[in-house]
Amino acid sequence: MQKQTLASRKAELQSQAAQDDNAIQSITLQVEHVEDMILLLEWVLNAPMGSYHG
């Protein structure tokens, strides 16, 4: 019985680790998207003002 309990706990932890990896990947993609949006917003707000760009 002890071995079954430990085996089921191991399987549970492995499943949780896989879910955590998916969550980390999802959050990383969201962070990259937000960083891209910030970069574009900064580019628009700080647009060059020289005659070449006007």
**DSSP assigned state of 48:** -
Whether residue 53 lies inside any domain: the answer is no
Integer Cα distance of 27 and 19 in angstroms: 12
Whether residue 10 lies inside any domain: the answer is yes
Whether residue 6 lies inside any domain: the answer is yes
pLDDT value of position 49: 72
pLDDT value of position 46: 87
pLDDT value of position 29: 94
State whether residue 53 is helix, strand or coil. coil
Token pair, residue 32, equals: 């990259």
Whether residue 49 lies inside any domain: the answer is no
Please give the residue range of the domain that contains residue 17: 1-44
pLDDT value of position 54: 56
Count up the domains in the chain and report the number.
1
* Per-block mean pLDDT, blocks of 10 residues, the chain (54 long): 84 91 93 94 82 63
pLDDT value of position 48: 73
Integer Cα distance of 16 and 41 in angstroms: 37
